[in-house]
A and B are shown apart, each in its own frame.
Chain A
Amino acid sequence: MELQIWIWIAVGLSFSLYIGIAIWSRAASTKEFYVAGGGIHPIANGMATAADWMSAASFISMAGIISFSGYDGSVYLMGWTGGYVLLALLLAPYLRKFGKFTVPDFIGDRYYSNTARLVAIFCALIVSFTYIAGQMRGVGVVFSRYLEVDIVTGVLIGMGIVLFYAVLGGMKGITYTQIAQYCVLIFAFMVPAVFISFLITGNLIPQIGFGSSSTDGIFLLDKLDGLHQELGFHEYTTGTKSMLDVFCITMALMVGTAGLPHVIVRFFTVKKVSDARKSAGWALLFIAILYTTAPAIAVFSRTNLIETVSNQPYDQMPDWFNKWETTGLLEFNDKNKDGLIQYNADGSTNELEVDADIMVLANPEIAQLPNWVIALLAAGALAAALSTAAGLLLVISSAVSHDLLKKILVPNISERVELIAARLAATAAVCMAGYFGVNPPGFVAATVALAFGLAASSFFPAILLGIFSKRINKEGVICGMLVGILTMLFYMLKFKFGWFGGGLKEDWWFGVSPEGFGSIAMIFNFITTLVVSHFTPKPSMEIQKLVEKIREP
Chain B
Amino acid sequence: MKPNNYWKTNIRYITILLSLWFLISFGCGILFVEQLNLVKIGGFKLGFWFAQQGSIFGFVVIIFVYIFLMNKLDQSQKK
- Partner-B contacts on A (CB < 8 A): 66, 71, 73-74, 77-78, 81-82, 84-85, 88-90, 93, 207, 210-213, 219-222, 237-239, 243, 246-247, 250-251, 254, 274, 277-278, 280-281, 284-285, 288, 291-292, 295, 548, 551-553
A81 lies within 8 A of B56 (CB) = yes
A220 lies within 8 A of B43 (CB) = yes
- Partner-A contacts on B (CB < 8 A): 3, 6-7, 10, 14, 17-18, 21, 25-26, 29-31, 33-34, 37, 41-45, 48-49, 51-53, 55-57, 59-60, 62-64, 66-67, 70-71, 73-74, 77
Closest chain B residue to A76, Cβ basis: B52
Tell me the dominant secondary structure on chain A's binding face. Answer: helix
B64 lies within 8 A of A281 (CB) = yes
A250-B56 contact, Cβ under 8 Å, with A89-B18, A238-B37: no
Could you tell me the distance between the alpha carbons of A546 and B36 in the complex, rounded to whole angstroms? 46
Contacting residues, chain A, for B6 (C-beta < 8 A): 552-553
Could you tell me the distance between the alpha carbons of A531 and B31 in the complex, rounded to whole angstroms? 30
A281 lies within 8 A of B43 (CB) = no
Which 4 pairs from chain A and chain B are nearest by CB? Answer: A219-B43, A74-B51, A211-B43, A281-B63
Could you tell me the distance between the alpha carbons of A84 and B44 in the complex, rounded to whole angstroms? 26
Closest chain A residue to B7, Cβ basis: A551
A397 to chain B, nearest CB (A): 30
B67 lies within 8 A of A222 (CB) = no
Could you tell me the distance between the alpha carbons of A86 and B4 in the complex, rounded to whole angstroms? 22
B63 lies within 8 A of A243 (CB) = no
Tell me the dominant secondary structure on chain B's binding face. Answer: helix
Contacting residues, chain B, for A71 (C-beta < 8 A): 33, 48, 51-52
Contacting residues, chain B, for A220 (C-beta < 8 A): 43
Could you tell me the distance between the alpha carbons of A78 and B48 in the complex, rounded to whole angstroms? 12
A74 lies within 8 A of B43 (CB) = no
B63 lies within 8 A of A77 (CB) = no
Interface residue from B17, B59, B73 paired with A288 (Cβ < 8 Å): B59
Could you tell me the distance between the alpha carbons of A385 and B73 in the complex, rounded to whole angstroms? 39
Contacting residues, chain A, for B17 (C-beta < 8 A): 85, 89
Interface residue from B45, B52, B64 paired with A295 (Cβ < 8 Å): B52
Most buried by B among A77, A89, A219, A292: A89
B30 lies within 8 A of A250 (CB) = yes
Could you tell me the distance between the alpha carbons of A82 and B30 in the complex, rounded to whole angstroms? 14
Most buried by A among B45, B60, B77: B60
Interface residue from B37, B41, B42, B74 paired with A553 (Cβ < 8 Å): B74
B44 to chain A, nearest CB (A): 4
Closest chain B residue to A72, Cβ basis: B51
B56 lies within 8 A of A78 (CB) = yes
A-B contact pairs, 6 of them (CB 8 A): A77-B55, A88-B63, A210-B44, A211-B49, A243-B31, A295-B53
A74-B44 contact, Cβ under 8 Å, with A250-B25, A284-B59, A552-B3: no
A-B contact count (CB 8 A): 123
A78 lies within 8 A of B66 (CB) = no
B51 lies within 8 A of A277 (CB) = no
B59 lies within 8 A of A81 (CB) = yes
A274-B63 contact, Cβ under 8 Å, with A237-B37, A243-B31: no
Could you tell me the distance between the alpha carbons of A284 and B67 in the complex, rounded to whole angstroms? 13
Could you tell me the distance between the alpha carbons of A281 and B31 in the complex, rounded to whole angstroms? 26
Most buried by B among A66, A90, A93, A237: A237
A214 to chain B, nearest CB (A): 9
B51 lies within 8 A of A82 (CB) = no
Could you tell me the distance between the alpha carbons of A55 and B34 in the complex, rounded to whole angstroms? 32
Interface residue from B45, B56, B73, B77 paired with A221 (Cβ < 8 Å): B45
Closest chain B residue to A89, Cβ basis: B14
In the complex, besides A77-B55, A292-B53, 15 extra interface pairs with C-beta distance below 8 angstroms are: A74-B29, A78-B25, A78-B29, A78-B56, A81-B59, A212-B42, A213-B43, A219-B43, A250-B29, A274-B67, A278-B67, A288-B57, A551-B3, A551-B7, A552-B3
A281 lies within 8 A of B60 (CB) = yes
Closest chain B residue to A222, Cβ basis: B43
Contacting residues, chain B, for A278 (C-beta < 8 A): 67
Could you tell me the distance between the alpha carbons of A239 and B7 in the complex, rounded to whole angstroms? 41
Contacting residues, chain A, for B41 (C-beta < 8 A): 211
Closest chain B residue to A280, Cβ basis: B63
B56 lies within 8 A of A292 (CB) = yes
Interface residue from B26, B44, B53 paired with A250 (Cβ < 8 Å): B26
Could you tell me the distance between the alpha carbons of A239 and B34 in the complex, rounded to whole angstroms? 10
Could you tell me the distance between the alpha carbons of A551 and B5 in the complex, rounded to whole angstroms? 12
Interface residue from A66, A284, A295 paired with B63 (Cβ < 8 Å): A284
Could you tell me the distance between the alpha carbons of A85 and B25 in the complex, rounded to whole angstroms? 11
Could you tell me the distance between the alpha carbons of A207 and B49 in the complex, rounded to whole angstroms? 10
A82-B53 contact, Cβ under 8 Å, with A219-B43, A288-B60, A553-B6: no
